[in-house]
Amino acid sequence: MKFHCPRIKEIYPIYKLHDNLFRVGSQIGITTEISDEDDKMWSLVNILDGRTINDVVDII
C-alpha cells in the first residue's frame, strides 16, 4: 500500500460551515466543500493526521 500514514496537510484548514457542510482548505482553486449528513467524513478527516491505516480503521 502506498499510503501507510495518511494525513491532511496542516496548511489546509478543516472547518465546519454548517451542521452538514465542511471545508478543507481556504484558497481559491484548492478548497473543497464536503456535504456530510451524518458526520462520517468529518470524523474521518479529523483523524487523518499521520496515524497508521490500522489506527484509523480502529478508531472509525
Question: Mean pLDDT, to the nearest integer, of 5-19?
Answer: 92
Rounded Cα gap, residues 55 and 60, in angstroms: 9
pLDDT tens track for 32-56: 999 999 999 999 999 999 999 999 9
Q: Is the pTM of this model over 0.85?
A: no
Q: Does residue 28 register a pLDDT over 90?
A: no
Mean pLDDT of all residues belonging to the chain: 91
pLDDT at res. 1: 58
Contacts of 30 (CB under 8 A, 6+ apart): 12
CB-CB contact of 24 with 31 (8 Å): yes
Q: Please count the residues of the chain.
A: 60
Question: Mean pLDDT, to the nearest integer, of 26-30?
Answer: 87
Read off φ and ψ for residue 25, nearest 5 degrees: 95, 165
